[in-house]
Chain A
Amino acid sequence: MASEEAKDYVLPPEVLEETVRASEELWKPVKKVKFRIYKYNPKKDYAPHWEEHELEVSKGMTVLDALLTIKGEMDPTLGVRYSCRMGLCGSCAMMINGKQMLACQTRVLEAAGDGDVVELRPLDNFPVERDLAADFTHFFEKHKSVKPWIIRSDEVELNNPTGPYKQTVDEYARYYQFTDCIKCGACLSACPTAATDYEYLGPQALAQAYRYMVDTRDDGLDVRIAVVDTEHGCWRCHFAASCSDVCPRGVDPAQGIQLLKRLIIKRKFGYKPHKPAEALPAKVKAESKSGG
Chain B
Amino acid sequence: MEAESGYREYYARNMRGISGWFKVRAYTIERWLYAAHRITGILIVLFILAHFYSTGWHPGLWWDALLGVVVTFHVANGIRLILAELGLAIGKPLLIKKPSQRPVSIEGVQRYLVVFALVLFIVLAAIWAYYALVVQSMMG
Residues in A lying within 8 Å of B, measured CB to CB:
40, 42, 46-48, 97-99, 122-128, 134, 169, 172-178, 180, 190, 192, 194-196, 198, 237-242, 244-247, 250, 252, 254-256, 258-259, 261-263, 265
Contact = CB atoms under 8 A, between A and B. Distances in A.
A124 B20 contact: yes
A154 to B, nearest CB: 27
The 9 A-B pairs with the shortest beta carbon distances in the complex, nearest first, are: A195-B20, A262-B87, A250-B101, A255-B105, A244-B103, A240-B34, A42-B12, A252-B103, A241-B30
Interface of B: 4, 7-8, 11-21, 23, 25-28, 30-31, 33-35, 37, 81, 84-87, 90-95, 97, 100-106
Nearest to B20: A195
Contact of B11 (A42, A99, A241): A42
Contact of A98 (B7, B26, B33, B34): B26
Contacts of A174: 93
Contact of B93 (A48, A169, A178, A198): A178
Given A48-B11, A239-B34, A177 B105 contact: no
Nearest to A125: B15
29 contacts: A42-B11, A47-B11, A97-B26, A98-B25, A98-B26, A124-B20, A128-B12, A169-B95, A172-B95, A175-B93, A176-B95, A195-B23, A196-B15, A238-B34, A238-B81, A240-B30, A240-B33, A242-B30, A244-B105, A245-B27, A247-B103, A250-B100, A250-B103, A252-B106, A256-B93, A258-B86, A258-B90, A258-B105, A262-B86
B36 to A, nearest CB: 11
Given A46-B7, A255-B93, A265-B86, 17 more contacts: A47-B11, A128-B14, A176-B94, A180-B97, A195-B20, A196-B15, A196-B20, A237-B85, A238-B37, A239-B81, A239-B85, A240-B27, A240-B33, A241-B105, A246-B27, A252-B104, A262-B86
